Amino acid sequence: MDRLLARSTGVKEFEELYRASRDDVYAYVATLLRDRFAAEDVTALAFERAYRKRGSFRAARGTARAWLFGIARNAALDELRRRARSAELDADPADEASLPVEDEAEFGARRLAVRGALESLQPRERELVALKFFAGLSNAELAAVIGTSETNAGTRVHRAIHKLREACHETA
Amino acid sequence: MRLRREPEPTPETIRELEALDAALAGEPVDPEHAELGALAVALREEAPRPRPEFALALDLRARDGFPAPEPVASILPRKRMPRRRWGLALGAAASVFIALTAVLSSGVLDSQNDNGNRRSEPVDEPLVLKSAPATGDQAAPEQALSSPSAGAPAPRLQGRQVERSASLTLAAPRDEIEDTADRAIEVTDRYGGFVMNSSVSGGEGPDVGATLELRLPARRLQPALADLSKLAHVRTRTQGSRDITAAFRSPRRRLADALAERRGLLRRLERAVTPNETVAIRARLRAVNRRIDRAQAQLRALRNRVVYAPVQVRIEPGAASRAETGGWSLGDALDDALGVLRTLLGATLVALAVLIPAALLGGLGLLAYRGSLRRRRERALEM
């Protein structure tokens, strides 16, 4: 798909990328913004930008998914900046609606602990978790998105997951 | 983005990362890392999922090729000028800048003004001769000129009277000597000058050539010479100037003396009583008037030397005409091609002299902007 997208900049290849990434991009953006409706707007915006810029994708620089998530990241960070400028909110409350809606009865102790632990992470760590576990990016793709080396990305993911595990234990 | 360098991962870290990847891929995980694997799976299940209605709406937009969004969401950034338009606008601005720079630095505007003057002045301000007794082949003014430009102080240098002169030797093909002479006369007319003498010999004889003695307004001598020089290949071109201020003194003094004497004679004539006395005074008046005329003629001639510069144009057979050489030769083509290349090279150098610094500045500005934007975005993540 990457090669096809790079070579043809075709609509068909982009559709394939869209289908494979729609929910992942949304999950990542929603984790960064913690606002369902803002996440929807930014997700749509990211795909529009990616669609317009599909000709600029270069396979040599990384995979199509890494390229797409880079665009989504920029759009989300721009939204965070815009919010910081206009609203000056001290802290955005987590939008509970952005989390999976399930029956209370289905909540196990572990899942509650995981959610609690996620909340305790720093935004950068939460971003890493979102890219790794929500979007399913490889360490190399993750590194390309956040602009670091693959080794650095792996180490940071490792540190975030350990922090998360400790937070889970504390919550439990 | 923090450029903090992380330490190299330990083997245990690598194993744990591999366990995470395996768990996410649904592969079996080493029992030692089972808890980590379970956490990875639990995390994946915590991924926010889009609302079905949003997913459907986005699918439809994807199917339509993501048409431009309607301006409903305030969350969307302001519509910016497309990059291509920016490029076009910058390109146009750069082109205008380069063209302006080239035009201003080449002095074309100045020369165009000169050309405009050359063409318009003879029409707008025709040189009017009060009287022009013939002294050569063609009529030439020996009297004072009434045109503002004729009496213009151009050749004067802070009250000095300067006579200018020039000579030009042109080389033209044998069969074009008469045409070249005609065009030289046209140039002379255009600048308000006149031909004192002309001699043109055409044909195949040894004395073929043309000699023109011109008088050109001194204040327009330079552009006129430039136009004459364009008529054919210039072999020699000389110019000179001579201060003739002193030459004006004697006739002016004689004129003043004669005028004073005439005034005295006229007063005496009024008081004359006898016929003999009257006759004698009248005779002296006639003599004084002749002296006045001579002095005035001398002054006019001197003034003409200042106002009109003598220019001698000699047209000699020299360059072979295209008819003689059989038209446009390979050498001509090579010369023309080299000329074009030289011009292009010069224009390219001028353009590069502007574009390279502009591109460097633009590149630095772009890098600075991108760096600044990246930092601001990363800061937004920490808010």
In angstroms, the CA B152 to CA B145 distance is 10
Q: Any CB–CB contact under 8 A between A61 and chain B?
A: no
The CA distance from A161 to the nearest CA of chain B, in Å, is 8
Q: What pLDDT sits at residue B148? A: 38
- Whether B149 shows a pLDDT value over 50: the answer reads no
This prediction's pTM: 0.50
CATH class, A1-97 region: mainly alpha
Nearest to B26 by CA among B4, B8, B12, B44: B44
Q: What pLDDT sits at residue B355? A: 93
List, as ranges, residues 108-137 from A with C-beta within 8 Å of B. 110-111, 114-115, 118, 123-124, 127, 129-130, 132-136
**All residues at 6 or more sequence positions from B216 whose CB lies less than 8 Å from its CB, including other chains:** B188, B191, B193, B224, B225, B308, B309, B311
- Whether B192 shows a pLDDT value over 50: the answer reads yes
Q: What is the CB neighbour count within 10 angstroms for residue B322?
A: 13
Q: What pLDDT sits at residue B8? A: 76
Q: How far is CA A18 from CA A8, A22, A144, B308, in A?
A: 16, 5, 19, 86
pLDDT in tens, B65-94: 887 655 544 444 445 555 556 667 777 776
- Domain definitions of chain A by residue range: 1-97, 100-172
The residues pairing with B214 across neighbouring beta strands, listed in sequence order, are B195, B311
> Do the chains contact at B66 and A43, CB–CB below 8 Å?
no
List, as ranges, residues 9-28 from A with C-beta within 8 Å of B. 11, 15, 18, 22-24, 26-27
Phi/psi of residue B214, nearest 5 degrees: -110, 160
Higher pLDDT, B7 or B137: B7
In angstroms, the CA A142 to CA A140 distance is 5
- Whether A137 shows a pLDDT value over 60: the answer reads yes
- Whether B205 shows a pLDDT value over 90: the answer reads no
Higher pLDDT, A87 or B132: A87
Task: Measure the N-to-C terminal CA separation of chain A; round to a whole number of Å.
Answer: 43
Q: Any CB–CB contact under 8 A between A161 and chain B?
A: yes
Tokens at B310, concatenated: 């003598």
Q: What pLDDT sits at residue A3? A: 52
Share of chain B above pLDDT 90, in %: 36
Asked if the A100-172 domain carries CATH number 3.40.190.10, the reply is no
Strand order across the beta sheet in which B194-201 lies: B194-201, B209-217, B308-317, B162-172, B233-243
Mutate to test the interface with B, among A155, A163, A164, A169 (most CBs of B within 10 A): A155
In chain B, which residues have their Cβ closer than 8 Å to the Cβ of A37? Answer: 75
Q: What pLDDT sits at residue B203? A: 72
The CA distance from A40 to the nearest CA of chain B, in Å, is 7
Looking at residue B8, its amino acid is E
pLDDT in tens, B241-294: 888 888 898 999 999 999 999 999 999 999 888 999 999 999 999 999 999 999
